[in-house]
Amino acid sequence: MEASKSADKQYKFMTETPVGALIIKLGIPTTISMLITNIYNMADTYFVGTLGTSASGAVGIVFGLMAVIQAVGFMLGHGAGSIISRKLGAKDTETANYVASTSFFTSLIAGLVITVFGLLFSTPFLRLLGSTDTILPYAKDYALWILLAAPITMTSFVLNNILRYEGKAALAMIGLTTGGILNIFGDFLLIRVFDMGIQGAGISTAVSQLISFFILLSMFLRGKTQSRLSFDCFKNGVKNLPSICSTGFPSLMRQGLSSVSTMLLNNAAGLYGDAAVAGMTIVNRICFFIFAVGLGIGQGFQPVCSFNYGAKKFKRVKKGFFFTWGVGEVLLSILAVVGLLLSDHLVGIFRDDPLVIEIGSFALKAQLIALFFQPLSICSNMMFQSIGKNKTATFLSALRSGLVFIPVLLISSRVIGLTGIQISQTITDVITFIVSFPFMVAFFKNMKKDEVEVN
């Protein structure tokens, strides 16, 4: 009876709260979570940067490995979360339980597979990601701990996204931010105090992921969620795995291509020395930190979109989209101006090397100029994935991560060298915006017909 009251209360919260206020309420915890996560990623970059340029470059190399882990974790997490939210919107709790349990145990198994194969083939894989002879020893030490933590990291992505799509963004925030803050202190202690070098950064990351995992899992075990986890639901609900994977495939495509793009970027930059690899690594971390603000608000929109789409409240979906797009434009424009004014200083925080600052500062300015074009692309992609338009979402997610970026990088780096590498992401963002716009317009035209049918 108590569970039924809680479900009804959550249903009213998701379908009757004013859309703008609801997105902000769900988006703020998500934004904080993403910012804290990015702060501890940047803390790794900062503290490892004190060990030398090659060590700093190793962080960028291993980021490609982390992108692979994230790719599978986000596929299962976003896929399960989107389905669960729509099923809860349609008041189908049983299927929501099956989907939650299937994604949880599948992510644990997939993480173990990545750990085993990653440890067996770490050297050739890190070479493939762009390690130079001087970077490789640092990359191996750092990657060891990232690989050992892969099962819990991947499962944490799933738990976090289920909570978020249920509209429990504040609970998800507790797990992620606690681990993130502890990782920052861990970096300081293990690298600065105990002088453990880049291995200290890896250990700190692994321990923080473990703590986040147990906090997130406790939310499910203590009955804080509408969906439940059990091995019986996994056995009975494994038939939902294809649906989970197809819904989450845009995230796999986005993160997988991001990993390939990072590998190609590191290899292209490596031709110009460790300073170029370090410079582009630092810029990517700074830009993703800024990008996280827009992404956090967008992720506040996702559960609102999927839940209300499942409840057939299409006007709320449309209103939420345009609210999120507008807020994203304002926030990212402000951050872009600040970043442009402080570009040299921002890069210099992470590595006080004149060549790294010169390369990184120009690349940072180029990427910040294109921030205006990102909110529409982000919102469109998130909307299509949240409502189960998997083919469109997959195509749009692949544009920025690889389909456009990879050819732009390969062509521009050959034509104008290092400058081409520095401006490749800027060109990509503009093209992605141009392609995304007509998809958005066509969708809302068709949705008017759905509104008429429902009415």
Whether residue 435 is contained in a domain is answered as yes
Whether residue 193 is contained in a domain is answered as yes
Whether residue 200 is contained in a domain is answered as yes
Domain that holds residue 342: 2-447
Q: What is the pLDDT of residues 45-96, one digit of tens each?
A: 778 878 887 888 888 788 878 888 988 998 999 999 989 988 988 888 899 9
pTM given for the model:
0.78
Whether residue 452 is contained in a domain is answered as no
Whether residue 454 is contained in a domain is answered as no
Answer yes or no: is pLDDT of 110 > 50. Answer: yes
CA distances from 286 to 42, 77, 338, 356 (A): 8, 25, 12, 14
Count the domains in the chain: 1
Query: Does residue 404 sit in helix, strand or coil?
Result: coil
CA distances from 401 to 102, 144, 454 (A): 28, 26, 36
CA angle 263, 201, 133 (to 5 degrees): 45
Whether residue 199 is contained in a domain is answered as yes
Whether residue 231 is contained in a domain is answered as yes
Average of per-residue pLDDT across 209-214: 95
Q: What is the pLDDT of residues 225-260, one digit of tens each?
A: 989 999 999 988 899 999 999 988 888 887 777 767
Q: What is the DSSP letter of 191?
A: I
Answer yes or no: is pLDDT of 286 > 90. Answer: no
Whether residue 453 is contained in a domain is answered as no
Determine which of 173-187, 286-300, 359-373, 399-413 has the lowest per-residue pLDDT on average: 286-300
In contact, 245 and 103? CB cutoff 8 Å: no
